[in-house]
Amino acid sequence: MLFLVLSIICSVVVGVIFKITRKYNTNPTQIVAFNYVFAMLLCYFTFSPDLKEVTVNSPWIIYIAIGVLLPAVFLFLVASIKHMGIVKTDAAQRLSLFIPILAAWFIFKEEFNSYKVIGLLTGFLALLFILKKQATNTGNKWMYPAIVLFGFGVIDILFKQIALYTTLPYTTSLFVVFEIALLVAVFIAAYEFVIKKARFESKNILFGALVGLFNFGNILFYLKAHKAFSENPSTVFAGMNMGVIILGSVVGLLFFKEKLSKINFVGIILALISIIFIVFSQLK
């Protein structure tokens, strides 16, 4: 249970760091890039991946797809936290679990029981309530958490495909993905340097290191939690998703004074209920 709690804390802390960076006029792209530098180093020294096992027959299309999506969706996550807050962003990220579930239904023709159908319907209703903007919130800012939801959902599907590729250890594939994500983030940062005349500032390295540390910690403790609860993975699944929504809501409301309408609160409660139904649907 300790590993699960640590994974939840690490996940929420990443959002908190990005929320704090707004006060220091930082560059999100540079932070994301340095995040992958430190995540790669931690992955290398923790798991000691053998890169000699990576060949031309490895699932490079999936590696590249995830490597491109990760930094791109990460930047949308930063924008979502900035414009919509930690509460709605964390909830949207966790509700992204419905994307792979829908893919299983429509693409892989998986049979659904009543619990899963109720969970899906409740989840979509929760999403509408959570992302409902207040009258003072103009523009299409709700698009940021919506893209976070869709993006992480697609990434989850691709990571599941990597997990099925048993020729390589999962941690080796993860290191390769981090490498590609770093290259993409560096390319975006270089574009900002040349076109937008952005300046390099050392404070972005510090924040990047913090994000990389907790981002990797989230992955490490999540894997350890799954190992500890190997006979009951639904415990990790439910605990992680509900824990992040609850802790993210508490942090956003108490420490950052984020404003939520009554409908938003109802949406968060519905999100928790929908995840419970999804977990029950997995139990045999």
- Given a contact cutoff of 8 angstroms between Cβ atoms, the answer to whether 242 and 95 are in contact is no
DSSP for 40-83, written as a single string: HHHHHHHH---GGG--TTS-HHHHHHHHHHHHHHHHHHHHHHHH
- Given a contact cutoff of 8 angstroms between Cβ atoms, the answer to whether 130 and 267 are in contact is yes
Q: Residue 216 half-sphere exposure, CB side, CA atoms within 13 Å? A: 25
Q: Provide CB contacts within 8 A for 110, sequence distance 6+.
A: 104
Distance in angstroms (rounded) separating the CA atoms of residues 273 and 115: 11
Q: Is the pLDDT of residue 178 over 70?
A: yes
Amino acid at 123: G
- Given a contact cutoff of 8 angstroms between Cβ atoms, the answer to whether 208 and 35 are in contact is yes
Distance in angstroms (rounded) separating the CA atoms of residues 120 and 109: 16
- Given a contact cutoff of 8 angstroms between Cβ atoms, the answer to whether 253 and 87 are in contact is yes
pTM of the model: 0.87
- Residue 189 CA from chain centroid, whole number: 21
Greatest distance between any 2 Cα atoms in the chain:
57
pLDDT 10s digits, 96-131:
888 887 887 777 677 778 988 898 889 889 888 887
Average pLDDT over residues 122-141: 73
Which is nearest to 14 in space by CA: 45, 35, 38? 35
Average pLDDT over residues 144-170: 89
For helices 86-94 and 143-164, the axis angle rounded to 10 degrees is: 40
pLDDT 10s digits, 179-207:
999 999 999 999 999 998 999 999 999 99
Q: Is the pLDDT of residue 140 over 80?
A: no
Task: Quickly count: other Cβ atoms within 10 Å of residue 217's Cβ.
Answer: 19
Please tell me the predicted confidence (pLDDT) of residue 138. 46
Please tell me the predicted confidence (pLDDT) of residue 54. 93
Distance in angstroms (rounded) separating the CA atoms of residues 43 and 30: 20
For helices 60-84 and 2-21, the axis angle rounded to 10 degrees is: 60
Looking at residue 181, what DSSP letter applies?
A: H
Q: What are phi and psi of 108, to 5 degrees?
A: -95, 5
